[in-house]
Amino acid sequence: MGVSRRAFIQGGAAGAAGTALTGGLLAAGARADASSGGDTTHEASSYPFHGTHQSGILTPGPPHQQRFSAFAAFDVTAAKRADLADLMHTLTERARFLASGGTPPDLGVSQPPSDSDVLGPDVPADGLTLTLGVGSSLFDDRYGLSHLKPLHLTPMRTFPNDAPEARWSHGDLLVQLCANHPDTLHHAIRDLAKHTRGGMQLRWKMEGYGSPPRPSGTPRNLLGFKDGTANPTHKTAQDLVWVDDPAEPAWTHGGTYQVVRLIRMLVEFWDRVSINEQEMMFGRRRDSGAPLDGNAETDTPDYAKDPEGKVIPLDSHIRLANPRTHATGNQRLLRRSYNYDLGMDENGNLQCGHIFACYQQDLHRQFEKVQQRLIDEPLVDYVQPFGGGYFFALPGVANSRDWFGRRILS
């Protein structure tokens, strides 16, 4: 190979790039609650904006998700608490309009146009969801919110094998946008930036895309493996995601902890690895997505029959991510991840990878427990975490009189 994989990663060529894979790929690797087969993709023209929970988390519901995404973190520049409340009102108004679509007002020829017209004179909803999260830094001493910080919300932890870059990390607010087409995401970011100038400033942004099932079942990541096979569905997903702990501040109930991990995939090196080695690292067949002891993508691996890891290695991704024991059953999480492509880096290497996003009731019990088991797994030679953050996705906007953060700022 000329340059070793490890030297490539440690020598700085990883650049803006990419986590261990549950900080990465197959997330909790847990048993699927229902088949994820089928070739249909859900491209509704719109999704409800109002509700107990925000859209864009269980929308339209695992294993399906909207095709395109943008994750944008912002630093809040509002001067005081009242200004922060004004910012939240504005974000709510813009999100409500963008999620519903409509005709922007005509301000006259002497004024800048009210809309960029990227989507034409009438703005389509195009399946847009806007999910707003808050970072731990919002609860510093600027706005008097420290006593209201969610119980488990901290800055994103750096794990062994991570290579964090400050310019791609953290933020006071996170806006997650998902839609049916990428120009809808571009339009939404511009709209938000225009209407919130003076209240928040973009810190980092990453756009992603999801692939259609090929040839069926769960879509694939850029390492060629099916991604998200074992996502919890239906009632199980609901029970794992929404915060309802009485020890948490009351306003958090109905929200969820969100982890975003930006992960570079060193695809040039990966493409030189034998298919047998690739499958042993994942614990799954690349073509079908089946566990190495099974025949179909949704088959449940039987670790009890393979205690020494002769079929599915003990250090394979799916086995480390979820050992399938009683003690680890409550560590499952819901993932909603996308591929990204930034072109190439300064050394001429492909600069692409994975936006890993997951949602859970408890960061420490769920994401961090899983991530700790993945430290030094064999896949770390081919992936590199470099950014993202921990956030708390706010409860939903109940109705037309409600607004993001009302229960914090009122």
The whole-number pLDDT of residue 236 equals 87
- Spatial contact of 304 and 291, defined as CB atoms under 8 Å apart: no
- Report the alpha-carbon distance of residue 266 to residue 379 in Å, rounded: 10
The whole-number pLDDT of residue 374 equals 96
Residue 62 pLDDT greater than 90, yes or no: no
The whole-number pLDDT of residue 21 equals 55
Residue 10 pLDDT greater than 60, yes or no: no
The whole-number pLDDT of residue 17 equals 41
The whole-number pLDDT of residue 104 equals 96
The whole-number pLDDT of residue 24 equals 42
Q: Which helix (H) or strand (E) holds 406?
A: helix 406-409
Residue 16 pLDDT greater than 50, yes or no: no
Residue with more model confidence, 296 or 33: 296
**Average pLDDT of span 118-122:** 97
Considering the chain, what is the average pLDDT of its residues? 90
**Average pLDDT of span 210-236:** 89
| pLDDT tens track for 70-116 | 999 999 999 999 999 999 999 999 999 999 999 999 999 999 999 99
Residue 11 pLDDT greater than 80, yes or no: no
- pTM for this entry: 0.91
Which range (4-8, 359-363, 387-391) has the least confidence? 4-8
| pLDDT tens track for 178-201 | 999 999 999 999 999 999 999 999
Residue 13 pLDDT greater than 70, yes or no: no
Which residues make beta-bridge pairs with 339? 209, 354
Tell me, rounded to whole angstroms, the distance of Cα 381 from its chain centroid: 22
Please list, in sequence order, all residues whose beta carbon lies within 8 angstroms of the beta carbon of residue 353, skipping any fewer than 6 positions away: 17, 18, 222, 262, 263, 264, 265, 339, 340, 383
- The string of DSSP codes covering 86-124 is HHHHHHHHHHHHHHH-BPPP---TTS--SS--TT-SSB-
Residue 28 pLDDT greater than 50, yes or no: no
The whole-number pLDDT of residue 1 equals 41
The whole-number pLDDT of residue 181 equals 96
Q: Using pLDDT thresholds of 50, 70 and 90, give the confidence band for residue 231.
A: confident
Residue 346 pLDDT greater than 90, yes or no: yes
Residue 344 pLDDT greater than 60, yes or no: yes
Residue 241 pLDDT greater than 80, yes or no: yes
Q: Taking CA 244 as the corner, what is the angle to CA 242 and CA 248, rounded to the nearest 5 degrees? A: 115
- Report the alpha-carbon distance of residue 176 to residue 15 in Å, rounded: 23
